[in-house]
Chains A and B, each alone.
Chain A
Amino acid sequence: MNHPTKAAEFLSDGANAKWHDETLWFVRDKRDSSSKTVPEWEELRDLASRIKDNVLDYLDTYLLEFEKNAKANNFHVHWAKNADEHNQIVLGILKKHQCKAIVKSKSILTEECHLNPFLEKHGIEVVDTDLGERIVQFLNQPPSHIVMPAIHLKKMAISDIFHEKLQTEKGNDDPYYLTQAARNHLREKFLAAKVAITGVNFGVAETGEFVVCTNEGNADMGVHLADVHIASMGIEKIIPKRGHLGVFLRLLARSATGQSITNYNSHFRSPSAGKEMHLILVDNGRTEQLAREKFRNSLKCIRCGACMNTCPIYRRSGGFSYGSTVPGPIGSILSPGLDLQKHSSLPFASTLCGSCSDVCPVKINIHEQLYEWRQEITKAQAANAKSISMKIANGIFAVPFAYKISAGMMRGALKFLPDSITYSGLNTWGKQRDLPELPKETFKQWYKKNRS
């Protein structure tokens, strides 16, 4: 299904859509206030953008430096060309340790690789330990937002799920009560898991360490209790130096939720005695995106989700309307690179308002890339009705006489067609909007009479 259909479905529950819009706007608003407490905010964005540009220019060099230093830190480093290779590597490690149950903190990369269904198919229980992710996991849904996975659900919906899955009191939607229930439930899972999986927010090339940011401390809890830590990292998550964290950590939390800092910014440098750490570096289409001149800087993304919170489309259509692992504006420029056919409606799910580009902490020109993807998509599509009408339009506007005739016909048609046709399903504009009243003369006619 394409975006417009799913968006219309989402909007059909008007009260819920309004609530969703206001909830995410609240986060965007918090981000605004928080970012404005930093006088050098725009300089930070500029710096972050330039550091990431440099990373993309020298990605091969930084990756090798990172690998060398990570190995020196006693990490097992693996390279995965695609999602399947990534999943096989994870499975291999689990088999080696005869592990049947794992805990996993939030990782959009493992969502992208569809790791959970893959492992479950191989008889392994996967427990997402981020509260929002656990909630959507109970519902067998993907996250609807990359930072707030269950943002599409209201308290009572969560109460109902917990009643069913965790036997909480029916109808009790007290957030503290529900959170306590989740804590007790997850505690057992943490204690039982031999292997913990995390994502990676930043991999530092100069030290071979990596940083994981969470608000709940669930990544740390999982990793410290387990014997084996597997960290899955997209190859673009490299930063050159540890000092650069001073730029990115300040931008990340403020952009994501308006917090001045994420609660837990955990540095993983080397395994404790008797424990194992694995780092999987995943490509999965990133090298191809890097090769696309107009779209490569989408790889600067630090996954803060600010473009989703600010996007007037995302707020009113929900994360699921995009049908891609990363929804919202940034997803709409990343996903077409993975599957152009499947995601062809996404670059059109935008008014090109540009708010995403202005909110982006690493200054990705998201709305300009949406425009560029539109050009690519229409090229890839075979000649269809729309492209033919566009060619005719170009012919019309290139020849003033033709423009005059056709515009005259349009005006004439509007004047004489009955409302039942003008405002019928044939005319999408007129379904919920009136057309402008037709003036007696065009400006061109007026000008001829009054000025020339």
Chain B
Amino acid sequence: MFKINSRIALFIPCYVDQFYPKVAIATIELLEKLGCEVTYPMEQTCCGQPMANAGYERDTIGTTKHFLNTFKDFDYIVAPSGSCVLHVKEHAPTVHGLESEQHHIQHKIYELTEFITDILKIDSIQGSYPHKVGYHASCHGQRGLRLASASELHETPFNKGRQLLQQLDGLEWIELARKDECCGFGGTFAVTEEALSVQMGKDRLEDHLSHDVEIITGGDMSCIMHLEGIARRNKTPLQFKHIAEILNEAIS
């Protein structure tokens, strides 16, 4: 049960801090508009995911320990990234001596949209966003954190991002041919399997373009950075925004 005086920490992925401060700003402003008091612990660095996914999980103990010490005293940790949250929950190595703090954090860390829908339980959002929006469900958010139903599974369709976006006046949610295919970012995969990564990104962009999408959004800036990078290089007329930016812009 969410209490109004809960201590909420904002966890901003390292590349968002460096390259997309606007996404972090939108996240904090959005949470404030929704009535939360949010703290950004200044000591935070990285969750260790890039190293772990490259096969060096064992070398991230120091990073993980620092993460736990930075965030252990909060009731909730919120991040505008499904991927980094999944890493903290499932792949960060066990830090001896901080087992109970780690357990607490694994159960108190949330991706932004699920924090709004499941913890804040906001069921009505007032705002207007008259655009054709295509949603890129990041795989780690979707199949990892189960932020949306997966097309492979026989389950009732749901999508926490869509649940929020569709409340905005004028927003047109665009259905895609392949609604949850990977964009090909995949961390170091983007570099080690460059040819495949780029082809996968191009194919995703084509799906959005052929359905007249104006703006591609999603919950993970890493996927969007990759898609936007390809679109810019090819002068593709698409805009890219993190879902926090859209919600923050739309909600007055």
Interface digits, A370-388 against B, CB 8 Å rule (1 contact, 0 not)? 0100110111000000110
**Complex: A447 Cα to B19 Cα, angstroms:** 15
Chain A residue at minimum C-beta to C-beta distance from B144: A354
In the assembled complex, which residues on chain B have CB atoms less than 8 Å from the CB atom of A348?
A: 55, 188-189, 192-193
A443 engages B139 (CB within 8 Å): no
Give CA–CA (A435, B229) in the complex, Å. 6
Q: Is A436 an interface residue (CB 8 A)?
A: yes
Known contacts A394-B63, A433-B233, A435-B229, A4 near B193 by CB under 8 Å: yes
Q: Is A93 an interface residue (CB 8 A)?
A: no
Number of A-B residue pairs, CB cutoff 8 Å, is 207
Contact with B along A4-26 (1 / 0, CB 8 A): 10011001000001000100010
Most chain B beta-carbon neighbours within 10 Å: one of A349, A352, A386, A407: A352
Binds A, one of B37-45, B97-105, B108-116, B160-168: B37-45
Segment with Cβ contacts to B, from A81-89, A156-164, A168-176, A311-319: A311-319
Say yes or no: A358 contacts B55, CB within 8 Å.
no
Whether B154 lies near A390 (C-beta < 8 A) is no
Residue A350, interface by CB 8 Å: yes
The residues in A between 381 and 412 inclusive whose CB is less than 8 angstroms from any CB of B are 386-387, 390-391, 393-400, 403, 407, 410-411
Smallest CB separation, A110 vs chain B (Å): 30
Contact count band on B: 35 or more
Taking the closest CB of chain A, its distance from the CB of B194, in whole angstroms, is: 5
A133 to B234, CA, bound (A): 41
Given contacts A391-B59, A398-B65, A436-B228, contact A350 B189 (CB under 8 A): yes
A7: which B residues are within 8 A, CB to CB? 193, 195-196
The answer, among B28, B48, B184, for a CB contact under 8 Å with A394, is: B48
Q: Is the CB of A390 within 8 A of B51?
A: yes
Chain A's closest residue to B233 (CB) is: A434
How far apart are A402's CB and chain B's nearest CB, in angstroms? 9
Whether B230 is near chain A, meaning CB under 8 Å from some CB there, is yes
Considering the complex, give the chain B residue whose CB is closest to the CB of A354.
B143
Give A396 to B48 CA distance when docked, in angstroms.
Answer: 11
Contact B195 A447 (CB under 8 A): no
**Interchain CB contact under 8 A, B152 and A359:** yes
Min CB distance B157 to A, Å, is 11
B153: which A residues are within 8 A, CB to CB? 42, 358
Contacts of B229 in A (CB 8 A): 429, 433-436
Instruction: Provide the residues of chain B in CB contact with A393, threshold 8 Å.
Output: 50-51, 59
B139 touches A353 (CB 8 A): yes
A42: chain B residues within 8 A (beta carbon):
153-155
Q: Verify if A439 is at the interface (C-beta below 8 Å from B).
A: yes
Number of interface residues of A (CB under 8 A): 73
Chain B, Cβ-Cβ closest to A317: B196
Pick the contact of A355 from B14, B19, B143, B228 — CB < 8 Å? B143
- On whether A448 and B42 interact (CB within 8 A), knowing A32-B151, A355-B182, A432-B198, the answer reads yes
Selected A-B contacts with CB under 8 Å, 22 pairs? A7-B195, A11-B196, A316-B196, A350-B189, A351-B139, A352-B186, A354-B143, A354-B144, A359-B152, A375-B57, A390-B51, A391-B56, A391-B59, A394-B63, A398-B65, A403-B14, A407-B14, A433-B198, A436-B229, A439-B19, A443-B24, A444-B17
Contact surface of A with B, Cβ cutoff 8 Å: 3-4, 7-8, 11, 17, 21, 25, 32, 35-36, 38-39, 41-42, 310, 312-313, 316-317, 348-355, 357-359, 371, 374-375, 377-379, 386-387, 390-391, 393-400, 403, 407, 410-411, 428-429, 431-436, 438-439, 441-448, 451-452
* Contact flag A351-B54 (CB < 8 Å), given A432-B230, A433-B230: no
* Nearest chain A residue, comparing its CB with the CB of B22: A439
0 or 1 for each of B161-202: is its CB under 8 Å from A? (1 = yes): 000000000000000001011101111111111111111110
| A397 and B151 contacting across the interface, CB-CB below 8 Å | no
**Are the C-beta atoms of B226 and A433 separated by less than 8 Å?**
yes
Please indicate the chain A residues that have their CB under 8 angstroms from the CB of B54 in the complex: 374, 378, 386, 390
B62 adjacent to chain A (CB < 8 Å): yes
Q: Does B16 contact A (CB under 8 A)?
A: yes
Count chain A CB atoms within 10 A of each CB in B17, B184, B185 and give the residue with the most: B17
Report the nearest B residue to A306, measured CB to CB. B152
Alpha-carbon distance A350/B40, docked complex (angstroms): 33
Given contacts A310-B152, A359-B152, contact A436 B20 (CB under 8 A): yes
Chain B hits for A400, CB < 8 A: 42-45, 66
Q: Is the CB of B139 within 8 A of A354?
A: yes
**B217 interface hit (Cβ, 8 Å):** no
B53 touches A (CB below 8 Å):
yes
Q: Are B233 and A397 in contact (CB under 8 A)?
A: no
The A-contacting residues of B in range 100-158, CB under 8 angstroms, are 139-140, 143-144, 150-155
Provide the main secondary structure of the chain A interface: helix
Q: Verify A38–B192 contact, CB threshold 8 A.
A: no
Interface of chain B residues 213 through 247 with chain A (CB within 8 A): 225-226, 228-230, 232-233
Given A4-B194, A17-B199, the answer on whether A434 and B232 have CB atoms closer than 8 Å is yes
Set of chain A residues within 8 Å of B62, measured between Cβ atoms: 394-395, 397-398
Residues of A within 8 A of B199 (CB): 11, 17, 316
**Once bound together, how far apart are the Cα atoms of A4 and B186, in whole Å?**
14
Q: Which A residue's beta carbon lies closest to that of B23?
A: A443
* Contacting residues, chain B, for A310 (C-beta < 8 A): 152
Q: How far is the CB of B135 from chain A (nearest CB, A)?
A: 16
Cα–Cα distance between A387 and B51 once the two chains are bound (Å):
9
Cβ A394 vs Cβ B59 within 8 A: yes
B36 → chain A, closest Cβ, in Å? 13
Contact of A352 (CB < 8 Å), options: B43, B53, B190:
B53
- Tell me which residues across on chain A come within 8 A of B192, comparing CB atoms: 4, 348
Instruction: Say yes or no for B46: interface residue by CB 8 A criterion.
Output: yes
Shortest distance from the beta carbon of A5 to any chain B beta carbon, whole Å: 9
Q: Per a CB cutoff under 8 Å, which of A38, A353, A377 touches B182?
A: A353
Q: How far is the CB of A1 from chain B (nearest CB, A)?
A: 14
Q: With both chains docked as a complex, state the minimum distance between the C-beta of B198 and any C-beta of chain A, in angstroms.
A: 5
The winner among A7, A17, A350, A398 for most chain B CB atoms within 10 A is A398
Residues of chain A within 8 A (CB-CB) of B186 are 350-353
- Would you give the shortest CB distance from B134 to chain A, in whole angstroms? 18
Rounded to whole Å, the gap between the CB of A250 and the closest CB of chain B is 13
Shortest Cβ distance from A341 into chain B, in angstroms? 15
Please give the distance in Å from B161's CB to the nearest CB on chain A. Answer: 17
